[in-house]
């Protein structure tokens, strides 16, 4: 069975553990090689064409259903957390506001840069469900460092997401060597440029990285949260759950790292970070447009 661009495949040598999209087919050292992007994880890989097998529709549907169940579970956990936050805020503001409807809240604004347009769409759909104000832009990982300053000036976000595809290659060097990673260096440079513009960790909260990214370098560059401490794969939606917690936590509260990680699909092996303030702000008076009519 021939394999072409955009086919959904698995790698036989890995037991078809991950579903990939075929992005490119090329000749390399006399072999036909396919460049692969993970369907649900932020991993880029390459494999000989003869190591690939097409995944049939029934298998794809079964895996899609399992993935959607994981996403629903994470959304449910986040919704529970948000309800607890809302209850706490309603209690705390009751002394300062005459009645429940006197105040309004502004969640943190997000600028999401993604190296994969299909992942970006998936993330934007979840941002919309959760109710987070976001500007999502597709941007090739290699172009992110040169574009970030202009984009920060243009959109003035409270939270920055820098993500896309990444992978570690043992043949290129040891795990501590950032040159052994496909895009970690570009993510690190992007974070550094962002910190030149906004140095304070609580003025701009940054999530950076993708599958197997060089976690230590990203944190050292100035990211609040990053992947991947154990060099494992992360889910396409993990950045959304990170920033959602930050966006809806009041700016006077500090977020413990585990409180952020426990709602992700990957957990502490895939994502880590540092204690960070929330960015939600409360104001008054609240007046709906309906009251004006």
Mean pLDDT rounded to a whole number for the chain:
86
**Tokens found for residue 116:** 């994969």
For 20-38, what is the mean pLDDT? Answer: 89
- pLDDT higher than threshold 60 for residue 99: no
ω before 285 within 30° of 0 (cis)? Answer: yes
- pLDDT higher than threshold 50 for residue 249: yes
State the pTM of this model.
Answer: 0.82
- pLDDT higher than threshold 60 for residue 94: no
User: Which pLDDT score is estimated for 2?
Assistant: 84
**pLDDT tens digits, 148-185:** 999 999 999 999 999 999 999 999 999 999 999 999 99
User: Which pLDDT score is estimated for 96?
Assistant: 53
Spatial distance between the Cα atoms of 279 and 273, rounded to a whole number of angstroms: 16
What percent of the chain clears pLDDT 90, i.e. is strictly above it? 49
**pLDDT tens digits, 196-212:** 999 999 999 999 999 99
What's the angle, vertex CA 265, arms to CA 58 and CA 280, rounded to 5? 135
Spatial distance between the Cα atoms of 60 and 47, rounded to a whole number of angstroms: 20
Spatial distance between the Cα atoms of 40 and 118, rounded to a whole number of angstroms: 10
In terms of Cα–Cα distance, which of 22, 19, 29 is closest to 2? 22
User: Which pLDDT score is estimated for 289?
Assistant: 43
For 41-65, what is the mean pLDDT? Answer: 85
Spatial distance between the Cα atoms of 167 and 145, rounded to a whole number of angstroms: 19
User: Which pLDDT score is estimated for 43?
Assistant: 82
**pLDDT tens digits, 272-285:** 999 999 999 888 76
What's the angle, vertex CA 56, arms to CA 65 and CA 165, rounded to 5? 65
Distance from the Cα of residue 94 to its chain's centroid: 35
User: Which pLDDT score is estimated for 293?
Assistant: 47
- pLDDT higher than threshold 60 for residue 98: no
């Amino acid at each position: 069975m021939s394999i072409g661009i955009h086919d959904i495949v698995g790698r036989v040598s890995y037991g078809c553990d991950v579903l990939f999209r075929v992005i490119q087919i090329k000749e390399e050292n006399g072999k036909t090689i396919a460049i692969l992007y993970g369907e649900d994880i932020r991993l880029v890989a390459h494999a000989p064409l003869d190591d690939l097998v097409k995944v049939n529709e029934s298998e794809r549907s079964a895996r899609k259903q399992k993935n959607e169940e994981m996403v629903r579970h994470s959304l449910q956990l986040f919704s529970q957390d948000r309800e607890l936050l809302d209850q706490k805020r309603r209690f705390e503001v009751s002394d300062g506001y005459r009645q429940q409807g006197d105040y309004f809240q502004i969640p943190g604004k997000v600028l999401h840069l993604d190296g994969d347009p299909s992942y970006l769409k998936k993330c934007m759909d979840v941002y919309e469900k959760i109710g987070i104000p976001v500007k999502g832009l597709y941007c090739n990982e290699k172009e992110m460092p040169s574009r970030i300053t202009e984009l920060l000036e243009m959109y003035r976000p409270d939270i920055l997401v820098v993500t896309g595809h990444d992978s570690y290659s043992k043949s290129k060097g040891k795990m501590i060597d950032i040159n052994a990673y496909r895009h970690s260096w570009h993510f690190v440079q992007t974070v550094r440029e962002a910190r030149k513009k906004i140095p304070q960790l609580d003025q701009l909260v940054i999530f950076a990285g993708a599958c197997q990214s060089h976690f230590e370098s990203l944190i050292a560059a100035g990211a609040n949260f990053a992947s991947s401490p154990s060099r494992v794969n992360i889910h396409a939606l993990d950045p959304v759950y990170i920033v959602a917690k930050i966006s809806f936590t009041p700016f006077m509260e500090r977020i413990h790292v585990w409180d952020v990680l426990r709602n992700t699909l990957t957990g502490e092996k895939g994502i880590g970070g540092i204690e960070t303030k929330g960015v939600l702000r409360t104001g008054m008076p609240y007046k709906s447009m309906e009251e004006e009519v």
